[in-house]
Amino acid sequence: MERVLDYKELAKILTHGGYGPKDVPWWGESNLGGWFTDEEIDAVTSIMRRSMEWTVGFDHGQEIENFEKAFAEYCDAKYAVAINSCGTGLDMAMICLELEEGDEVVCPATNFKAAHLSIIGQGGKVVFCEVDPQTHNLDPEDVERRITSKTRAIVPVHMNGLSAPMDEIIRLAEKYQHPKYGPLKVIGDAARSCGAKYKGEKVGSKGWMNVFSFHTRKLMTTLGEGGAITTNDSDLAQRLYNIRRYGGEAEWGSNYKMTSVQAAFGLVQLKRLDSMIQKRIEVASKRTEILKSVEELTLPYEPEGYMHVYYVYSLLVPPEWAGEKRDKIISMLGDKYKIVCSITSPPTYKRYEYIRRKCGDPGLAVSEMIADRLLCLPLHPLMTDKQNEFVCAALIETINRIK
């Protein structure tokens, strides 16, 4: 049944004590994306106690192996490589490509800068592509227009909790082959979509590899930092294992390892991930019921066969409200209600001077318009119904004032 807030109820929610923030603002990307329990704390202290013996220390890999096995199984992948961050993993992905001068990698501009920095860092050329205005994921038709004989890989971003259209991307990768290296590689940036599903399968099961983040803001964490790479390619998995630990015996590498303490913490988080995601989906669903009658808002879209995990709750204001009016909504929500919206994420060439200097400004009309209309309200799986209603009421009241 649709939940509609009338004006009297709106006023009551916004003035009644206990609904909204007091001294600490709510951020569009929560400072802790999930939560942890005594079980995680016990797992960490157990490792610490075992490591106190000077003949043992912290360099024992069984916890890391256990975490990798569990994470691979969770993602429906054959292998998982635990690392110290998603950014590290993207660097490792580009190292494995062995990019040569002039090699191109197609990637949406709508993302955090880590993927683009990894391409630049390995000497590749970033080829920005457009996004689908409904899903905010890369647009396969636009990707196809940008593929050349120099294209080596496509990096789809599983954006803000929703899987990229992997089957379409993989078909393009197989259709357009590099003259030297054959089929293009598909490298998923899954930093924001751990646990999301695509056609019944978890993000992480399709493509050459997918790179995940366990940063404190993400859907699960390994003590604030960390990441993993999933793949079904045994040779690639072995190379990733080597690179993360100084190259093994045969190649270059560095120290990209996750610690045993992080792995023990992450193993407990992983067991709880689906329940944390389910609560997140429930909060998002209740919010959608309240906001779907607000004609000025375009709500998050979930294609048939997908499962959105709502890393953030992405909204679009009308095209005529893009820019100045959108910014005014964000400013009013922050100033009056301490609700700090994020814009997750504008094209990196617009936000970061370094990216623009290295990659240029392609003038992506769709991506730039989406960025000017986008605002992401705070959402957390532990939000109460009253807190969720407070966020919705504050946004509705702000929109009414803007109108």
pLDDT tens per residue, range 207-257: 999 999 999 999 999 999 999 999 999 999 999 999 999 998 989 999 999
Tell which residue, 302, 295, 313, has the closest CA to residue 388. 313
Confidence of residue 11 (pLDDT cuts 50, 70, 90): low
Query: Which of 225, 247, 268 marks a domain boundary?
Result: 268
Whether 85 and 139 map to the same domain: the answer is: yes
Whether 289 and 196 map to the same domain: the answer is: no
Whether 298 and 221 map to the same domain: the answer is: no
Predicted pLDDT at 27 = 87
CA dihedral 216, 222, 227, 233 (to 10 degrees): -150
Between strands 104-108 and 177-178, the pairing is unpaired
- Kindly state whether residue 309 falls inside one of the protein's structural domains: yes
- Kindly state whether residue 331 falls inside one of the protein's structural domains: yes
Predicted pLDDT at 87 = 98
Query: Which of 204, 233, 268 marks a domain boundary?
Result: 268
H or E element that contains 139: none
What pLDDT, in 10s, does the model give residues 176-185? 999 999 999 9
Distance (Å, whole) CA 100 – CA 396: 52
- Kindly state whether residue 277 falls inside one of the protein's structural domains: yes
pLDDT > 70? residue 10: no
- Kindly state whether residue 1 falls inside one of the protein's structural domains: no
Whether 197 and 218 map to the same domain: the answer is: yes
- Kindly state whether residue 2 falls inside one of the protein's structural domains: no
Whether 158 and 284 map to the same domain: the answer is: no
Distance (Å, whole) CA 137 – CA 311: 14
> What angle separates helix 385-402 from helix 260-291, to the nearest 10 degrees?
50
Confidence of residue 130 (pLDDT cuts 50, 70, 90): very high
Predicted pLDDT at 3 = 65
Whether 19 and 44 map to the same domain: the answer is: no
Distance (Å, whole) CA 100 – CA 39: 47
- The tokens describing 394, both together, are 């504050």
Whether 279 and 261 map to the same domain: the answer is: no
Whether 114 and 16 map to the same domain: the answer is: no
Alpha-helical runs (H) found in 220-364: 234-244, 260-291, 324-337, 348-351, 353-359
What pLDDT, in 10s, does the model give residues 162-201? 999 999 999 999 999 999 999 999 999 999 999 999 999 9
Predicted pLDDT at 191 = 98
Predicted pLDDT at 127 = 98
What's the mean per-residue pLDDT of the chain? 94
Q: 250: domain CATH number?
A: 3.40.640.10
Average pLDDT over residues 91-103: 97
Average pLDDT over residues 95-117: 97
What pLDDT, in 10s, does the model give residues 274-328? 999 999 999 999 999 999 999 999 999 999 999 999 999 999 999 999 999 999 9
Tell which residue, 28, 8, 10, has the closest CA to residue 290. 10
Whether 168 and 311 map to the same domain: the answer is: no
Sign of the Cα torsion 221, 341, 321, 349 reads negative
Number of domains in the chain: 2
Whether 52 and 29 map to the same domain: the answer is: no
Give the domain range for residue 183.
Answer: 38-268
Predicted pLDDT at 54 = 85
Whether 135 and 264 map to the same domain: the answer is: yes
Distance (Å, whole) CA 301 – CA 130: 17
- Kindly state whether residue 85 falls inside one of the protein's structural domains: yes
Whether 228 and 325 map to the same domain: the answer is: no
- Kindly state whether residue 286 falls inside one of the protein's structural domains: yes
Q: Which amino acid is at 385?
A: D
Query: Which of 215, 245, 268 marks a domain boundary?
Result: 268
> What angle separates helix 324-337 from helix 385-402, to the nearest 10 degrees?
130
pTM of the prediction?
0.95
- The tokens describing 205, both together, are 């099961």
Find all residues with CB under 8 Å of 229, minimum gap 6, and list them.
Answer: 80, 81, 83, 89, 92, 93, 209, 210, 211, 212, 240
What pLDDT, in 10s, does the model give residues 54-80? 888 887 689 999 999 999 999 999 999
- Kindly state whether residue 162 falls inside one of the protein's structural domains: yes
Distance (Å, whole) CA 309 – CA 278: 8
